[in-house]
């Protein structure tokens, strides 16, 4: 059974556009959840910075995040390392740092190619 992988790449430091992207990613997840569709959310690249913001109760996207938190697969570990988010992911969230694909010079990253190989849908924000 195929699934949808929602990949969040937007950087929370990039203002309203980035907030709009993460909101739309989470809203897609809410819509898929309401339709009982199979999906996962992954934070990748500069998007690895988002979880520390989204878990805060006063963040405007916190409610949307909480609605799909059970479908968040995790955060790209190598990306979190590069973008300075590793500590915040480890201390402020309960999310896993995913390091499944070993790439030289990184601590390992999410293997997005596995979704393609499985015939899954990739939606990137």
pTM for the predicted model, two decimal places: 0.95
Mean pLDDT (whole number) for 24-45? 98
Residues making up the chain, counted from first to last: 125
Q: What is the pLDDT of residues 4-27, one digit of tens each?
A: 999 999 999 999 999 999 999 999
Contact 97, 75 (CB under 8 A): yes
Contact 77, 39 (CB under 8 A): no
SS3 97: strand
The CATH H-level superfamily of 4-124 is DsrEFH-like (3.40.1260.10)
Q: What is the pLDDT of residues 41-90, one digit of tens each?
A: 999 999 999 999 999 999 999 999 999 999 999 999 999 999 999 999 99
The full DSSP string for 28-63 is HHHHHHHTT--EEEEE-GGGGGHHHHHTSTTSTTHH
Mean pLDDT (whole number) for 107-121? 96
For the chain, the structural domain boundaries read 4-124
């Amino acid at each position: 059974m195929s699934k949808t992988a929602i990949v969040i790449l937007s950087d929370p430091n990039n203002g309203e556009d980035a907030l709009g992207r993460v909101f739309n990613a989470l809203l897609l997840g809410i819509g898929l959840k309401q339709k009982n569709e199979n999906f996962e959310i992954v934070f990748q690249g500069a998007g690895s910075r988002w979880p520390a913001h989204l878990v805060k109760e006063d963040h405007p996207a916190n409610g949307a995040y909480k609605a799909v938190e059970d479908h968040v697969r995790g955060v790209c570990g190598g990306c979190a390392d590069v973008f300075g988010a590793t500590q915040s992911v480890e201390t402020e969230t309960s999310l896993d740092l995913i390091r499944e694909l070993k790439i030289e010079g990184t601590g390992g990253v999410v293997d997005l190619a596995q979704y393609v190989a499985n015939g899954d849908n990739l939606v990137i924000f």
